[in-house]
Amino acid sequence: MIKIKEITCKSILNASGIPGIDYALNPYVGCEHGCVYCYAIFMKRFTGHDEPWGDFVDVKVNAQEILKKQLVKIKPGKISIGTVTDGYQPLEGKYKITRSCLKELMKYKYPISILTKSSLILRDLDLLKELNIVDVGITITTLDEGVRRILEPKSNSSVERLETLKKLATEGIDTWAFFGPVLPYFSDSIDKIEELWIAFSQVKVSQVLVDTTNLYPKVYSNIKRILRSLHPELISKYENIYRNRFKYQEELRWRVGTVARKYSIPYEICF
C-alpha cells in the first residue's frame, strides 16, 4: 500500500548537475513504480519517511504556483522533468501536477526534456506540441516482461513504452530511449542489447542513452534480496561485478558499441 501525502514546496526548479541540463523539476517526492534498482533511493533521507523507498509518494500540490514565481527570476536554461521521480507515475492521472507545470512553462521559451516510463505522457500531447523545444525519453531496460515485472513491478510494459515512443514520434516530438540501467545477466548480452536496438530502430528514436546499474550499497541490497529469492546463482557474479565494476563497464561499452555500430541511431554511454 502506497502512502500518499500532499505537501507544499518552497522550490520546484533546482540547479542540475546533469550535463546539458540547467534545471531539474520534480513534481513528486518518491515514485510508485517501485523499481528495485532505483538510484534515487538516496532521496529518502530528506523526506522524514520510515516507509521503504517505493512505498510512499509526496505530492507537491503547490508546484505550479511556485514554478510561476521562480520562472520570472531564473536565468533561461534547459529544464529536465523527472530526474529523481517519474512525473507521469500513476498518481499524475489524478493530481495533474506535471501537466500544470507544463502549462506554466508554455509561457516561456525554455527548452524542456522529459524522462518517464509511462504512457500517461500521451495525455499531454496537446501541450507537448505547443512547447518551444521539447524532447521525451522513455526508459526501457528489457524486453523480457518476466524480468520487468520483477524489477519494475508497477510500471508500464515495455511494449506500451515502445508504442508510446512511436506515437510521440508520429506526432512530431523528438524522442530518445534511455537504456538504463543495463542489468547484468538480464539485459547485458549481445543478443539482448541487439533486441533492444532493433526495437528502437522500429519506433524511430533520435538517440539512445545507455547507463549501467549503479550498485550503490542500498541499491545493491535491494537487488541482492531479489537475487537471493529468484536467482541465487547470480549473487556471486554480482559480487564480482561489485568488486570489479570498471572492468565490467569496459566490457559493457564494447558490447554496446558492437551492436550500436550496426544501426544508424546515435548513442551515448553515460558511464
Cα dihedral across residues 156, 203, 121, 45: positive or negative: positive
Q: C-alpha grid cell for residue 207?
A: 538517440
pLDDT in tens, 144-166: 999 999 999 899 999 999 999 99
Kindly list the domain boundaries of the chain, sorted by start residue.
Answer: 1-132, 143-271
Are 36 and 222 spatial neighbours (Cβ–Cβ below 8 Å)? yes
Give the residue-averaged pLDDT of 18-35.
95
| pTM for the whole structure | 0.94
CATH code of the domain made up of 1-132: 3.30.750
Backbone φ, ψ for residue 67 (5° rounding): -60, -40
pLDDT at residue 42 is higher than 90: no
